[in-house]
């Protein structure tokens, strides 16, 4: 999952760097349009962040927009003066610091008054500090503040303090990427560090910073969209695809496919005995093993039920893989601590699998057909795979656990238990 996002991220990086070398030959009208386009894109990103109630991308976009606005109106890159000598290194230092801070702060949404007040206070304090530096900073401090990594170099022009802050921010963020649950925005900000450092390094070349800021803002917007898609289609607890993604996958099945319904045996009693936290760990463990399925895709259907789909495969072709998954889960040893005492146990699963045929042409019908096999697996003693080869009897046909009301209504005719 991470790789596919870095493909588009670094594609935009290479494109933006390549185009930055062509800016000199752009039509003059494009340069004026570039500066306005930046603020339009930032405004669009701010609107999307407000609509989705996301404070982190909102603050990142605001930081990029404010940086360009302040430098454009108070320290024009076309002329070197005292304002640019002081304001540029200060803002170049604060940008990576602020971006890192916005990502490290928890996502509390836009409409959290206390959090918003704290962030606003931070902006005000920074504004006061910048104003003080611009008006009262002794002249002898201007030169050290603007000190470059390699003095006189035409390649590396970023101030030393700013370069150090970019490296430090990237290093700290890399730890968050490693230990935090996947979020496209965090990986996008890592790329934004690179682009904004590149743009600030070429600040005194017209339109370069605006171009890299425009690309950075676009990347933040795309990351918010991809994160929203990830939240909508991914099960938060287990990290695998959820039911919404399953039903969407139904639309793309070919002429032949098989579907397997998976249920954790005796999960309810296990959950009642050890608690819901341990139950969640069991669900995550089972999901991680099911997600290793070869030739298919795993989805969490709901509760302790999962679905495996095998496009282009018959039940006979998917059975070996289902048996492998069943055995892998049965052999997995779970160790945890309950009330201060170590506990070791194992979890087993039952599986029902079916394929489409003339009586079950639609995926939803095949899913119910597979659920009949799961019912038979439970009745036969659990911890097994049952292939449904004939249409289920009318009295036993029912929807999976998702239709709980239907199950209860037909409980007299169907003896299947929920564990």
Q: What is the CATH number of the domain that holds 271?
A: 3.30.70.270
Return the pLDDT at 323: 94
Return the pLDDT at 111: 86
pLDDT at 413 over 80: no
Structure tokens at 201: 């390094």
Return the pLDDT at 77: 60
Are 330 and 393 found together in one domain?
yes
Within 53-156, where are the H helices?
A: 55-74, 82-104, 113-136, 142-145
The stretch 114-142 carries a mean pLDDT of 84
Last residue of a domain, which of 176, 199, 233? 233
**How many independent structural domains does the chain possess?**
2
In a domain, 417, yes or no: no
Are 215 and 362 found together in one domain?
no
Structure tokens at 360: 């079950």
**How many Å apart are CA 371 and CA 125, to the nearest integer?**
61
**How many Å apart are CA 278 and CA 335, to the nearest integer?**
10
- Looking up tokens 């890299």, which residue turns up? 212
Summarised one tens digit per residue, pLDDT across range 287-321 is: 999 999 999 999 999 889 999 999 999 999 999 99
Are 388 and 267 found together in one domain?
yes
Task: Using alpha carbons, list the distances in angstroms from residue 392 to 74, 107, 407.
Answer: 76, 49, 16
Judge whether 309 and 249 are in contact, CB under 8 Å. Answer: yes
In a domain, 47, yes or no: yes
Are 175 and 212 found together in one domain?
yes
Are 285 and 210 found together in one domain?
no
pLDDT at 216 over 70: yes
Return the pLDDT at 415: 40
Judge whether 245 and 297 are in contact, CB under 8 Å. Answer: no
Are 166 and 201 found together in one domain?
yes
Are 60 and 94 found together in one domain?
yes
**How many Å apart are CA 257 and CA 142, to the nearest integer?**
70
Return the pLDDT at 1: 62
Are 174 and 318 found together in one domain?
no
CB atoms within 10 A of CB 298: 23
Beta-sheet strands, E only, within 234-320: 257-264, 297-302, 305-311
In a domain, 391, yes or no: yes
Return the pLDDT at 349: 94
* CB burial string 35-46: b at 16+ within 10 A, e below: bebbbebbeebb
pLDDT at 39 over 80: yes
In a domain, 347, yes or no: yes
**How many Å apart are CA 401 and CA 287, to the nearest integer?**
18
Are 67 and 198 found together in one domain?
yes
SS3 383: coil
Return the pLDDT at 152: 64
Are 224 and 275 found together in one domain?
no
Are 255 and 227 found together in one domain?
no
* Highest mean pLDDT out of 22-26, 192-196, 254-258, 344-348: 192-196
Are 192 and 327 found together in one domain?
no
Judge whether 41 and 214 are in contact, CB under 8 Å. Answer: yes
Residue 78 half-sphere exposure, CB side, CA atoms within 13 Å? 4
In a domain, 418, yes or no: no
* Highest mean pLDDT out of 105-109, 148-152, 169-173, 253-257: 169-173
> In the predicted model, what is the mean pLDDT of the chain?
85
In a domain, 414, yes or no: no
Summarised one tens digit per residue, pLDDT across range 224-274 is: 999 998 888 999 889 899 999 999 988 888 789 999 999 999 888 888 888
In a domain, 415, yes or no: no
Last residue of a domain, which of 191, 213, 233? 233
pLDDT at 83 over 80: no
Q: Which residues span the domain enclosing 59? A: 2-233
pLDDT at 345 over 50: yes
Return the pLDDT at 359: 81
Return the pLDDT at 272: 81
Instruction: Place 130 in a pLDDT band, splitting at 50, 70 and 90.
Output: confident
The stretch 369-382 carries a mean pLDDT of 91
In a domain, 416, yes or no: no
């Amino acid at each position: 999952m991470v790789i596919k996002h870095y493909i588009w991220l670094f594609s935009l990086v290479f494109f933006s760097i390549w185009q930055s070398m062509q800016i000199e030959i752009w039509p003059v009208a494009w340069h004026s349009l570039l500066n306005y386009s930046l603020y339009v894109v930032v405004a669009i990103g701010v609107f999307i962040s407000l609509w989705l109630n996301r404070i982190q991308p909102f603050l990142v976009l605001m930081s990029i927009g404010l940086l360009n606005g302040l430098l454009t109106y108070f320290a024009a890159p076309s002329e070197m003066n005292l304002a640019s000598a002081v304001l540029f290194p200060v803002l170049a230092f604060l940008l990576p610091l602020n971006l890192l801070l916005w990502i490290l702060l928890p996502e509390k949404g836009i409409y959290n008054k206390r959090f918003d007040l704290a962030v606003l206070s931070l902006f005000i304090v920074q504004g006061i500090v910048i104003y003080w530096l611009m008006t009262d900073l002794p002249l002898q401090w201007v030169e050290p503040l603007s000190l470059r990594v390699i003095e006189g170099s035409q390649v590396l022009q970023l101030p030393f303090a700013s370069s150090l802050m970019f490296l430090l921010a990237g290093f700290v963020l890399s730890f968050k990427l490693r230990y935090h649950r996947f979020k496209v925005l965090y990986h996008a900000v890592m790329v934004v560090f690179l682009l904004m450092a590149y743009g600030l390094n070429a600040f005194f070349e017209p339109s370069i910073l605006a171009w890299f800021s425009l690309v950075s803002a676009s990347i933040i917007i795309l990351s918010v969209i991809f994160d929203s898609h990830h939240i909508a289609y991914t099960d938060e607890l287990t990290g695998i695809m959820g039911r919404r993604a399953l039903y969407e996958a139904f639309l793309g099945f070919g002429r032949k496919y098989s579907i397997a319904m998976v249920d954790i045996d005796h999960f309810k009693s296990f959950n009642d005995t050890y608690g819901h936290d341990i139950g969640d760990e069991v669900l995550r463990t089972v999901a991680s093993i099911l997600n290793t399925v070869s030739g298919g895709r795993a989805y969490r259907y709901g509760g302790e039920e999962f679905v495996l789909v095998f496009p282009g495969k018959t039940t006979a072709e998917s059975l070996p893989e289902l048996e492998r998954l069943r055995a892998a889960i049965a052999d997995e040893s779970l160790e945890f601590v309950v009330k201060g005492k170590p506990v070791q146990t194992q979890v087993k699963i039952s599986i029902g699998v079916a394929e489409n045929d003339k009586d079950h042409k639609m995926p939803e019908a095949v899913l119910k057909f597979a659920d009949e096999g799961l019912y038979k697996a439970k009745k036969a003693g659990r911890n097994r795979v049952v292939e449904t080869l004939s249409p289920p009897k009318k009295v036993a046909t029912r929807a999976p656990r998702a239709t709980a009301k239907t199950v209860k209504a037909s409980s007299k005719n169907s003896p299947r238990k929920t564990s």
